[in-house]
Amino acid sequence: MQLNIQEIKKIIPHRFPFLLIDRVVDLVPNEKLVAIKNVTANEHFFEGHFPNEKVMPGVLILEAMAQAGCIYFYYSRDLQGKNLYYYLGKATVKYFAPVVPGDQLKIEVTTIKFLKNTGVVKTQAFVGEKLVTEAEIVFSTKEA
């Protein structure tokens, strides 16, 4: 399954400037998700981080990974129209390389463990074939 930006907006509430997923290129519920974030020189955060050597803030890479994880959790737990889902936190996060304007983040999400109302996913962000960030992220649901 693939999702364009309009379909993504139906799932997660984020909007400009905080919607950090451009498209989902592969989604197999309970197996994997691959999402894309195109990092452009026009990103608002590059004005101050850092003016002379622009670097995408690590917290925003993690946020993009969490948004991809939300989409994966939504489909893997079959939450369409049934529940609200929440990002609870990161279990671990490691940064390996900077992300700069012109890079394309490929975010991969897989299941570590799903229980009835919670789940832990493994996320990895790549630029090309280079791993730049990895994290374990925890999600939960609440009946709407």
β partners of residue 120: 113, 138
Give pLDDT, residue 90: 77
CA gyration radius, the chain:
15
Q: Residues of the chain whose pLDDT is less than 50? A: 144
Choice among 14, 23, 32, 49 that is catalytic:
49
Give pLDDT, residue 144: 46
Active-site annotation holds for 49: yes
Give pLDDT, residue 85: 64
Number of domains in the chain: 1
Give pLDDT, residue 77: 82
List C-alpha distances in Å: 133 to 35, 45, 75, 101, 127: 14, 19, 23, 16, 10
144 contacts 97 by C-beta, under 8 angstroms:
no
The whole domain housing 24 covers 5-143
What CATH number has the domain bearing residue 72? 3.10.129.10
What is the C-alpha separation between 72 and 67, in angstroms, rounded? 9
